[in-house]
Copies of this chain bind each other. A is one copy, B any other.
Amino acid sequence: MTARNLFLLPGDGIGPEAMSEVRKIIVYMNEAMDAGFVTDEGLVGGCAYDAHGAAISEADMQKALAADAVLFGAVGGPKWDSVPYEVRPEAGLLRLRKDLQLFANLRPAICYPALASASSLKPELVEGLDILIIRELTGGVYFGEPKEIIDLGNGQKRGIDTQVYDTYEIERIAGVAFEMARTRQNRVCSMEKRNVMKSGVLWNQVVTETHKTKYSDVQLEHMLADAGGMQLVRQPKQFDVIVTDNLFGDMLSDVAAMLTGSLGMLPSASLGAPDGKTGKRKALYEPVHGSAPDIAGKGVANPIAMIASFAMCLRYSFNMVKEADDLEKAIANVLDKGIRTGDIMADGARQVGTVEMGEAILAEF
């Protein structure tokens, strides 16, 4: 069997603690299932800046490019709040996304039944919620040029960012959304602001055209992104797959994640295009939550989002569908048993720390 190469970037804050629990699962899978994972590890974010003066070193970028999949923890913290823009912790993540060409960000917003009451929404609105947000990740205002601050003199400066989308970028992300929809409820809702943005006009046209020529079996709806944000809060279960651009995806997936009451629990996958020869996709898996510096190092962080990200890795990078299903079921079982970290604590549940939560999931796996 060929080795399965994983590159681990635990990052800052609670990233390393959460990653430790994934490492145990990897070791277990190698021993008990002969999974053949080979891991290497690097630095990203603030810790990389401290060590190398950059948010990720060239050597680690090479390793990320060479790996079958990257597991990413979290980056940032108050310690690095005033480092220069070019080397801020987020720059490491943005460079990984861009250089690995991870254009398709899959963000499931699911509500674990055991946690429906933890949502700020009324339970009946979120029980059974299962949305998949497909966010374009290598284009839009995140990367468009010019992107600069110009000194205009007279004490005036001008901040500029550029939102750019080309036809092919919209086509390929729409393709991912339609393909995913076919494995689910077969419904896609595309969101943009075509009423004020030209990139939104193009987005709408290309999604419509892609649908007509290749995916007319899928149900397609268009919604303005602001109305989409409203509808997520009003009636989230109306959605199956949502496809949207980089910035709207950032906003909308965070709102959707919060709705589930399971923010500390949500994973994400960022995928590239399949390689022409091998069919392999470059991929990075990361929790939706951030580095949570306030609780870092205390052993209380919830490792579920990181573990669920690894489950997505099993599914999308290694086609280990059964193992992915089993790992996700293990998470749900542990929650059903009333084992909880502090962030999802509830009356009558048993509160545990990061390590205990990780081990409880491993025991169920």
Instruction: Name A residues whose Cβ lies closer than 8 Å to a Cβ of B.
Output: 76, 85, 88, 90, 94, 120-122, 125, 141-142, 144, 147-149, 152, 155-168, 193, 195-203, 225-227, 229-230, 232-235, 247-248, 250-251, 254-255, 257-259, 263
The chain B residue with its CB closest to the CB of A125 is: B120
Contact A149 B258 (CB under 8 A): no
Contact B233 A251 (CB under 8 A): no
Q: Which of the residues B125, B147, B156, B203 comes within 8 Å of A159, measured between beta carbons?
A: B203
Please give the count of copies of this chain that the complex contains. Answer: 2
The chain B residue with its CB closest to the CB of A255 is: B229
Which residues on the B side are within 8 Å of A164 (C-beta)?
158-160
Known contacts A229-B254, A230-B255; 12 additional CB pairs below 8 A are A120-B125, A141-B197, A142-B196, A156-B167, A156-B168, A158-B164, A158-B166, A160-B162, A161-B200, A225-B251, A229-B229, A230-B254
Which residues on the B side are within 8 Å of A155 (C-beta)?
167
Q: Which of the residues B162, B165, B235, B251 comes within 8 Å of A226, measured between beta carbons?
A: B251
The chain B residue with its CB closest to the CB of A163 is: B161
Which residues on the B side are within 8 Å of A88 (C-beta)?
195
In the complex, 6 of the A-B residue pairs with CB atoms within 8 angstroms, ordered by the A residue number, are: A156-B166, A156-B168, A158-B167, A160-B162, A161-B198, A234-B258
Q: How far is the CA of A156 from the CA of B209 in the complex (A)?
A: 13
Q: How far is the CA of A247 from the CA of B195 in the complex (A)?
A: 12
Q: How far is the CA of A362 from the CA of B176 in the complex (A)?
A: 54
Given contacts A120-B234, A148-B198, whether A162 and B159 have CB atoms under 8 Å apart is no
